[in-house]
Structure 1
Amino acid sequence: MINSIGLGLGSAIDTSKLRESGKSAPKGSVPGSSAQTARLSPSPAARMAAQGAPVDTDKIAAIKAAIASGNYPVDAEAIAQKMLDLDLPQD
């Protein structure tokens, strides 16, 4: 039976749990209301995504300066090997 049309996923899950337990929602409560959603906290992954990727701006500036001055070592053989390693299936 479909009882969760128009509800968010969390509300649909809450409604499903209530149905399975044989209980009903308190009178006047609306699934997905702020009282129910307030208890939900973002997952650690969601919090990390909201913060953005960690960036070491000092290291980036040092690498840019080394490249600009021609002092950044580039090992073409190592780069080529890594590219091949990523492209070929491992047996």
Structure 2
Amino acid sequence: MSRNPAQLIRTAISELLVEAGQSPDFDENESLFDSGKLDSLAAVKLLTILEGELGIDLSDPDFEVDEIDTFAAIMDIASEQAAA
């Protein structure tokens, strides 16, 4: 992997925001989905990136998009899985 996970995730979120007509800038704790900045299609794209490029397992049947609503929450999941 040429980029670190944080940079990959940050870039992916910025690109999804631009696709949705939003500013590519966001705060670490800013709501991405609950705020309406990103929609369910963007959530699927982000999940695909997290699983495909970073190997993050989000296959839990109880998974909710709220668990990836902020950059900080995504990084928490990435860190937990990297430590496991």
What's the TM-score once normalised by structure 2's chain length?
0.31
Q: Which has the greater radius of gyration?
A: 1
Q: Relative contact order (C-alpha < 8 Å, sep 6+): which is higher?
A: 2
TM-score normalized by structure 1? 0.29
